[in-house]
Amino acid sequence: MITITFPDGKTKQYEAGVTALDIAKSISEGLARNVLSAKVTPLSFGKGAGGEVWDAIRPIKEDAKILFLTWKDEEGKSTMWHSSAHLFAEALEFFYPGVKFGIGPPVENGFYYDVDLGEKTISSEDFKKIEDKMLELARQKNPYVRKEISKKDAIDFFQKKGDEYKLELLNELQDGQITFYEQGNFTDLCRGPHIPNTGFIKSVKLMNIAGAYWRGDESKKQLTRIYGVTFPSQKELEEHIAMLEEAKKRDHRKLGKELKIFTFNDDVGPGLPLWLPNGATMIEQLETLAKTAEEKAGYKRVRTPHLAKENMYKTSGHLPYYAESMFPPMDMDGEKYYLKAMNCPHHHKIFEALTPSYRDLPLRLAEYGTCYRYEQSGELFGLMRVRSLQMNDAHIYCTKEQFADEFRAVNDMYLKYFKIFGIEKYVMRFSTHSPDKLGKKYVDEPTLWLETEDMVRKVLIESKIPYKEVADEGAFYGPKIDVQVWSAIGREFTLATNQVDFAVPKRFGLTYISNQNKSETPICIHRAPLGTHERFIGFLTEHYAGNFPVWLAAEQVTILPISDKFNDYAKNILTLLKKYYIRASFDDRSEKIGKKIRDAEMMKVPYMLIIGEKEVAVNAVSVRKHGEGDIGSVNAEEFAKKIKQEVDSVMQFDF
């Protein structure tokens, strides 16, 4: 008998060789129907180890911890999409005998498989028949069978099959570590894990076709990459497709161009957005909001240059390890200078210059610092993956006693922002260390790790913030929280990161004089609730579908006179609005009012003020709200006051 330990710490005895699926069945049939795979941590992995995702039908032979994975878990989804790639391969092989296979992993939204069709071709017109075949095979509920195989036998198999790609992959594997997975008529070289059988896959959609060089190497053969996605129900597929269609309409690259928010330029460089006036205005509003929030929360602003000498990044530990993500150095006066990829080292130097005492702590140093990070040009994507990052950054230096309060205040600020931006779904992904990697992946301070993680966990629980804990994904210098939010159409974004740092202040020799008149090292909290302007505005564009709330909109109001006769009146209205600091414009073109309205609607200006004879006569404006139409006539000054109030209600939000 072996002992299985569940996440809640409870244990139960089973025969050795029991599977996760068996265990699930022993609990309830309903659970068993949903188990796609399981995170298993056998005793032999060692104390504090992180576990592995296993097939739900893989035998467990010794004492182990177990966590069932279902469609609700990232890793459960990932297992199903991995299995779906195999199912797709089986269907493809049916129509394209002799097809050769590269790699076929699960990805963020489904899976892909890179294939070599030889002389044959494939187009989206072929998708339907392949999807149907996949569903037919799925209904057969063929089990995914894991087989350990010798390197020799594996090579024999793919030599017979004539698949040079798999042979190349095999070549790099060690004998004794090779496994095959079989389902129905298809066998693949694969490490797994997989779902119990194909029956879990209830709906299938092949998405698109792209070219992809074998192993990402332009000198190698271009294969055909086919993307697909599957779901455990037809309904979920339909929702997914609807969401994708909506996301396409809300694509921040498309709207960013239409609404003149940002642009790229070849002479400036990829991944380096230029913010057009509309985008820069939005940035200014976000900064005003953040600066007000931070001022109220007792932060102090600082400004630091965008580069520093190599030595600083050696002290911080970013060099040489992080060098690949930094911009290349500049050689100046016989020294290497690097653009900053993060603001913390500069802030540490400011902490040092301020020679603080315990009376000055917590010291919260905030900066909208622009950092530069190198990303492969192929990885760049609109505003979501860029090389220049304007970060809502701050570093909080505090004592151990102050940590919980400070960390709680940081979380509270997040929650207030979520409210302002109407973000209803969010999760804090809490990454901890792994004790067996202390001194390697993690700074070797076992007690500090446990203490800090406990403090963080306690605050998360007390604040009732939805969070999920992930072992072995902390930063080098402390536990980390990634803030994941969902846009209005349900797409997930990672917006921000908080980190607790109990190691780098020491490396920088940062100290404060304690109330015992001793020299102590502070803890540092890294936080950036609004992430970067780039990613945040990218997210907001999708979230609001470009219909930004009035406080954030670059242009808040546009005045549309019905004819040139009313231009003087319109001009007076403009002056009035400006007095209230409203960002307004006045369309004095000799165009028909219909055209003026259409253009303003296209630019998604929140309010249009229509001016005609009637309005002039009663000294009013006829208000049209974007997307809603006419909302009635009102005195111009009252309108201005209302808008100002709407803006102030956000900007003077109670932080």
Site residues (vs a second copy, CB under 8 A): 260, 263, 265-269, 272-277, 279-281, 283-284, 291, 296, 300-309, 311-312, 315, 327-333, 335, 337, 339, 345-346, 349-350, 352-354, 359, 365, 367, 370, 372, 374, 377, 388, 390, 578, 589
Q: In angstroms, give the least distance from the CB of 302 to a second copy.
A: 5
Q: In angstroms, give the least distance from the CB of 572 to a second copy.
A: 17
Q: If we measure between CA atoms, which residue out of 61, 51, 67, 70 comes closest to residue 14?
A: 61
Phi, psi of 572 (to 5 degrees): -65, -40
Q: How far apart are CA 73 and CA 193, in angstroms?
A: 14
Taking the CA atoms of residue 515, residue 355, residue 312 and residue 475 in that order, the dihedral angle to the nearest 10 degrees is 30
* Closer residue to a second copy, CB minimum distance, 221 or 301: 301
Q: Are 214 and 102 in contact (CB under 8 A)?
A: yes
* Closer residue to a second copy, CB minimum distance, 501 or 555: 555
* Closer residue to a second copy, CB minimum distance, 6 or 374: 374
* Closer residue to a second copy, CB minimum distance, 309 or 625: 309
CA atoms within 13 A on the CB side of 42: 15
* Closer residue to a second copy, CB minimum distance, 280 or 593: 280
Q: Per residue in 576-613, is it b (16+ CB within 10 Å) or e — as a string?
A: bbeebebbbbbbbeeeebeebbebbeebbbbbbbbbbe
DSSP 381-438: BTTTB-SEEEEEEEEEEE-HHHHHHHHHHHHHHHHHHHHHTT---EEEEEE---GGGB
Q: Are 376 and 269 in contact (CB under 8 A)?
A: no
Q: How far apart are CA 211 and CA 115, in angstroms?
A: 10
Q: In angstroms, give the least distance from the CB of 295 to a second copy.
A: 8
Q: In angstroms, give the least distance from the CB of 359 to a second copy.
A: 8
H/E segment holding residue 161: helix 151-161
Q: In angstroms, give the least distance from the CB of 502 to a second copy.
A: 21
* Closer residue to a second copy, CB minimum distance, 425 or 592: 592
Q: In angstroms, give the least distance from the CB of 211 to a second copy.
A: 21
Would you tell me how many other CB atoms lie within 10 Å of the CB of residue 648? 12
Alpha-carbon dihedral sign for residues 350, 354, 356, 362: negative
* Closer residue to a second copy, CB minimum distance, 432 or 532: 532
Q: In angstroms, give the least distance from the CB of 300 to a second copy.
A: 4
* Closer residue to a second copy, CB minimum distance, 273 or 505: 273
Q: How far apart are CA 134 and CA 203, in angstroms?
A: 9
Q: In angstroms, give the least distance from the CB of 565 to a second copy.
A: 20
- 220 alpha-carbon distance from chain centroid: 31
The tokens for 103 are 């790699």
Partners of 115 in the beta sheet?
101, 224
Q: In angstroms, give the least distance from the CB of 419 to a second copy.
A: 22
Length of the chain: 655
The tokens for 104 are 């076929």
- 520 alpha-carbon distance from chain centroid: 36
Q: How far apart are CA 51 and CA 60, in angstroms?
A: 13
Q: In angstroms, give the least distance from the CB of 367 to a second copy.
A: 8
Angle at CA of residue 644, ends 641 and 649, nearest 5° = 120
Task: For residue 257, give Cα distances in angstroms to 246, 261, 529.
Answer: 17, 6, 26
Taking the CA atoms of residue 304, residue 305, residue 306 and residue 308 in that order, the dihedral angle to the nearest 10 degrees is -100
* Closer residue to a second copy, CB minimum distance, 95 or 381: 381
The tokens for 87 are 């199912």
* Closer residue to a second copy, CB minimum distance, 125 or 331: 331
Q: If you compute the radius of gyration of the chain from its CA atoms, what whole number of angstroms results?
A: 29
Q: Are 539 and 381 in contact (CB under 8 A)?
A: no
Phi, psi of 281 (to 5 degrees): -65, -45
* Closer residue to a second copy, CB minimum distance, 3 or 263: 263
* Closer residue to a second copy, CB minimum distance, 368 or 426: 368
Q: In angstroms, give the least distance from the CB of 270 to a second copy.
A: 8
Q: In angstroms, give the least distance from the CB of 376 to a second copy.
A: 9
Q: In angstroms, give the least distance from the CB of 190 to a second copy.
A: 35
* Closer residue to a second copy, CB minimum distance, 117 or 276: 276
Q: Is 42 helix (H, G, I), strand (E, B) or coil?
A: strand
Q: In angstroms, give the least distance from the CB of 579 to a second copy.
A: 10
* Closer residue to a second copy, CB minimum distance, 27 or 274: 274
